């Protein structure tokens, strides 16, 4: 299974390399030039040694010519290596940019079920850390792999041509190097993969810890978090040490094999010089020893490359797994909603987040345009789930939801969501100016429209107190209070004026005085618009046209505020629990 997964990962890597075939060909050509000139230098040095026969027997004219040629070879080799590094950098960083772009695009189209089932830190670790390590391994591979393989083949061919007896010594010891490389590679892949996964788990935990540090401190949970971090850190230490242990054996193993090869060539070569009576000269022996060094050196480099490449492949497998995740079904060719009044019908809707636990069963609801629908009930009864289904963040498992008579599964998500305005209890502001945050849903709005929306949401006064007013850069950190963030989210929706509204605890972080003003603004905003109001505070839903009382995924009561109080049922109990009057 691992071999199949590795093969699939390698195919995915080659798919990303295909657009840069030109750079690859340049790398191969420059590698060949570098190797050929590098191999030429020992041969020329051997010829130079043979020009020095003894005292007074030195061919200085030929030596001068040989030194010029050797200098030219070294200069061209240096230039080739520099150009090859440029090509390798182009390939590595272009592939890194492409794979990160595809990973980010995939995150945008993944179903929310995938995002909800994983921590944000883990996903961020894959896109940032794994991508970086993959790029480093790829860069190292292109820099050394081509030249290493070409050097091994080139030196072997030249040695066979010059003196095949000595070349056989080198050739016989080669399988030992190959066996060592294969052994190390097979053991490092799984360990680097485990290291990558554990690092992602640690990143996810740190992200969660830092993001919720106030809650951790409020509940004095520091010691427990330290224990959890220590446990993850210990696992990361162990798997990292195992990975580093096997990867660090490459250098001593290959150096030992190199020494054996060098000693074998020196011994056999010395006997050959003595036995041939000068036919095999000292210069040739010097050339052979240089080639023996050049032949064995790439094995050391290649085994290091293989170790790094195993780490890169392990990281690439996680990246490609993310990119290969099944995206939400395409809605290309679906009906595009244009004129929406706000007529919505839920018919026999069934839904659950997990097959073991049914949440919503046989939910039926008909809402005509302009009606205000309040959804109340205990935590976990399915209120927010209905919002997720209306916005098509999740698709129903049974039944249907129709807008203006069209099943929303046959409508494009973009046109459906463009007709909804949404304010959630959990605010979201991007790191940008106040102006950019407000105009997110309506980029072409005028200055007057933006300020009018901010005033309607009672946000204009505190915006003007910011250092640069509407041009102040804010984020989702601590620059604004939670209530101010929510007012900006409310102003954002008041600027869009969509035909359908979803307000999920939209005033939960606002003080009572401001809430009364915002409720008044909402009342004006909701006139003629279909509105879904999710609320725990029942005082905010009294004016709704219909109140749906949910429990365990079912609507158990529905009616106006007065009708539900007269029934004396579940809603009445909830209401009197919040507004209990002492006898």
Q: For residue range 404-428, what is the model confidence (pLDDT) as tens digits?
A: 888 998 998 888 888 888 887 777 8
Question: What spatial distance separates the first Cα and last Cα of the chain, rounded to whole Å?
Answer: 72
Average pLDDT, integer, range 294-317: 74
Q: Tell me, yes or no, whether 536 lies in a domain.
A: no
Average pLDDT, integer, range 443-469: 88
Identify whether residues 435 and 311 lie together within a single domain: no
**pLDDT of residue 566 exceeding 80:** yes
Between these two residues, 579 and 156, which has the higher pLDDT value? 156
| Tokens, residue 92 | 């590595």
Identify whether residues 152 and 267 lie together within a single domain: yes
Confidence at residue 1, expressed as pLDDT on a 0 to 100 scale = 43
CATH number at residue 225: 1.20.1560.10
**pLDDT of residue 75 exceeding 90:** yes
Number of domains in the chain: 2
Between these two residues, 104 and 313, which has the higher pLDDT value? 104
Confidence at residue 476, expressed as pLDDT on a 0 to 100 scale = 54
| Tokens, residue 181 | 């490389």
> The pTM is what?
0.66
Q: What angle do CA 463, 464, 465 make, to 5 degrees?
A: 90
Confidence of residue 266 (pLDDT cuts 50, 70, 90): confident
Confidence at residue 509, expressed as pLDDT on a 0 to 100 scale = 62
Q: Tell me, yes or no, whether 295 lies in a domain.
A: yes
Identify whether residues 318 and 434 lie together within a single domain: no
Confidence at residue 583, expressed as pLDDT on a 0 to 100 scale = 39
Between these two residues, 253 and 583, which has the higher pLDDT value? 253
In sequence order, the 6+-apart residues with CB closer than 8 A to the CB of 346 are 363, 364, 365, 366, 386, 399, 400, 401
**Which contacts (CB < 8 Å, 24+ apart) does range 51-59 have?**
none
Q: CA-CA distances (angstroms) from residue 352 to 218, 358, 387? A: 34, 5, 14
Q: Give percent of the chain with pLDDT exceeding 70.
A: 89
Q: Tell me, yes or no, whether 582 lies in a domain.
A: no
Confidence of residue 582 (pLDDT cuts 50, 70, 90): very low
Confidence at residue 539, expressed as pLDDT on a 0 to 100 scale = 66
User: pLDDT of 345-369, one tens digit each?
Assistant: 989 888 888 777 777 888 888 888 8
**pLDDT of residue 79 exceeding 90:** yes
Determine the 3-state secondary structure of 382 from DSSP: coil
List % helix, strand, coil for the chain (3-state, nearest 5).
65, 10, 20
Confidence of residue 56 (pLDDT cuts 50, 70, 90): low
Alpha helices (H) along 358-496? 383-390, 413-417, 434-438, 447-456, 460-464, 482-496
Confidence at residue 185, expressed as pLDDT on a 0 to 100 scale = 66
Q: Tell me, yes or no, whether 330 lies in a domain.
A: no
Average pLDDT, integer, range 22-42: 85
The domain boundary, picked from 294, 323, 352, lies at 323
User: pLDDT of 450-461, one tens digit each?
Assistant: 999 888 888 898
**pLDDT of residue 194 exceeding 90:** no
| Tokens, residue 148 | 């290493």
Average pLDDT, integer, range 8-36: 85
Q: Tell me, yes or no, whether 570 lies in a domain.
A: no
**Which contacts (CB < 8 Å, 24+ apart) does range 94-101 have?**
94/19, 94/20, 95/16, 95/17, 95/20, 95/135, 95/138, 96/131, 96/132, 96/134, 96/135, 96/138, 98/16, 98/19, 99/16, 99/131, 99/134, 99/316, 99/319, 99/323, 100/127, 100/131
How many residues appear in the chain? 583
Between these two residues, 538 and 31, which has the higher pLDDT value? 31
Identify whether residues 165 and 312 lie together within a single domain: yes
In sequence order, the 6+-apart residues with CB closer than 8 A to the CB of 540 are 374, 507, 519, 533
The domain boundary, picked from 468, 497, 526, lies at 497
Domain containing 182 equals: 96-323
**pLDDT of residue 126 exceeding 60:** yes
Whether residue 246 contacts residue 192, with contact meaning beta carbons closer than 8 Å, is answered with no
Confidence at residue 231, expressed as pLDDT on a 0 to 100 scale = 92
Confidence at residue 402, expressed as pLDDT on a 0 to 100 scale = 92
CA dist 98 and 168 (Å) reads 46
Identify whether residues 123 and 271 lie together within a single domain: yes
Residue 569 exposed, middle or buried by CB count within 10 Å (0-12, 13-18, 19+): middle
Q: Tell me, yes or no, whether 580 lies in a domain.
A: no
Confidence at residue 81, expressed as pLDDT on a 0 to 100 scale = 86
| Phi, psi angles (nearest 5°) of residue 332 | -65, 130
CATH number at residue 473: 3.40.50.300
Q: Tell me, yes or no, whether 58 lies in a domain.
A: no
Among 379, 252, 259, which residue's Cα sits nearest to residue 303?
A: 252
Determine the 3-state secondary structure of 90 from DSSP: helix
The domain boundary, picked from 302, 323, 344, lies at 323
Q: Tell me, yes or no, whether 133 lies in a domain.
A: yes
Q: What angle do CA 72, 75, 81 make, to 5 degrees?
A: 135
Determine the 3-state secondary structure of 421 from DSSP: strand
**pLDDT of residue 563 exceeding 70:** yes
pLDDT averaged over every residue in the chain:
81
What are the counts of helices (DSSP H) followed by strands (DSSP E) for the chain?
Answer: 20, 14
Q: CA-CA distances (angstroms) from residue 173 to 35, 170, 473? A: 22, 5, 66
């Amino acid at each position: 299974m691992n071999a199949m997964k590795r093969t699939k990962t390698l195919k995915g890597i080659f798919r990303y390399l295909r657009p840069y075939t030109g750079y690859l060909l340049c790398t191969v050509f420059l590698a060949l030039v570098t190797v050929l000139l590098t191999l030429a230098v020992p041969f020329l040095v051997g010829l130079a040694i043979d020009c020095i026969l003894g005292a007074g027997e030195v061919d200085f004219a030929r030596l001068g010519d040989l030194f010029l040629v050797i200098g030219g070879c070294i200069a061209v080799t240096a230039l080739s290596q520099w150009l090859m590094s440029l090509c390798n950098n182009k390939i590595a960083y272009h592939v890194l940019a492409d794979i990160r772009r595809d990973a980010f695009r995939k995150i945008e189209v993944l179903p929310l079920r995938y995002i909800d089932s994983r921590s944000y830190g883990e996903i961020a670790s894959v896109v940032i850390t794994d991508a970086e390590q993959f790029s480093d391994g790829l860069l190292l591979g292109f820099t050394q792999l081509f030249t290493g393989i070409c050097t091994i083949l080139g030196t072997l061919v030249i040695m066979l041509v010059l003196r095949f007896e000595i070349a056989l010594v080198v050739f016989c010891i080669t399988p030992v190097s190959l066996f060592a490389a294969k052994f190390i590679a097979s053991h490092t892949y799984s360990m680097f993969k485990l290291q990558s996964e554990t690092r992602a788990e640690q990143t996810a935990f740190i992200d969660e810890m830092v993001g919720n540090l106030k809650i951790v401190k409020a509940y004095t949970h520091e010691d427990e978090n330290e224990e959890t971090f220590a446990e993850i850190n210990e696992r990361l230490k162990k798997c990292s040490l195992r990975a580093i242990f096997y990867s660090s054996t490459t250098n001593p193993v290959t150096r030992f094999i190199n020494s054996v090869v060098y000693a074998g060539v020196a011994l056999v070569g010395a006997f050959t010089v003595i036995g041939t009576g000068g036919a095999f000269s000292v210069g040739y022996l010097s050339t052979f020893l240089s080639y023996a060094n050049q032949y064995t050196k790439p094995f050391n480099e290649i085994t290091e490359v293989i170790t790094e490449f195993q780490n890169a492949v392990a990281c690439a497998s996680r990246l490609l797994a993310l990119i290969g995740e099944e995206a939400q079904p395409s809605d290309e060719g679906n009906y595009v909603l244009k004129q929406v009044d706000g007529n919505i019908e839920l018919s026999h809707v069934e839904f659950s987040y997990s097959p073991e636990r049914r949440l919503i069963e046989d939910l039926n609801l008909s809402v005509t345009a302009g009606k205000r629908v309040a959804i109340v009930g205990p935590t976990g009864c399915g209120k927010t789930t209905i919002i997720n289904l209306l916005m098509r963040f999740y698709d129903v498992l049974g039944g249907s939801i129709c807008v203006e008579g069209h099943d929303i599964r046959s409508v494009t998500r973009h046109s459906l969501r463009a007709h909804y305005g949404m304010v959630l209890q959990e605010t979201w502001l991007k790191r940008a100016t106040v102006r950019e945050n407000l105009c997110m849903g309506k980029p072409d709005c005028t200055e007057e429209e933006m300020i009018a929306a901010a005033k309607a949401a009672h946000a204009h006064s505190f915006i003007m107190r910011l250092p640069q007013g509407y041009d102040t850069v804010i984020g989702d950190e601590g620059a604004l209070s939670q209530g101010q963030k929510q007012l900006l989210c409310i102003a954002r929706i008041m600027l869009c004026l969509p035909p359908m509204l979803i307000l999920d605890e939209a005033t939960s972080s606002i003080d009572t005085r401001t809430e009364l003003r915002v409720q008044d603004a909402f009342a004006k905003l909701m006139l003629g618009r279909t509105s879904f109001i999710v609320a725990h505070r029942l005082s905010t839903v009294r004016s709704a046209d219909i109140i749906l009382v949910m429990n365990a995924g079912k609507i158990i009561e529905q009616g106006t505020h007065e009708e539900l109080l007269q029934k004396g049922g579940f809603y009445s109990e909830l209401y009197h629990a919040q507004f209990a009057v002492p006898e």
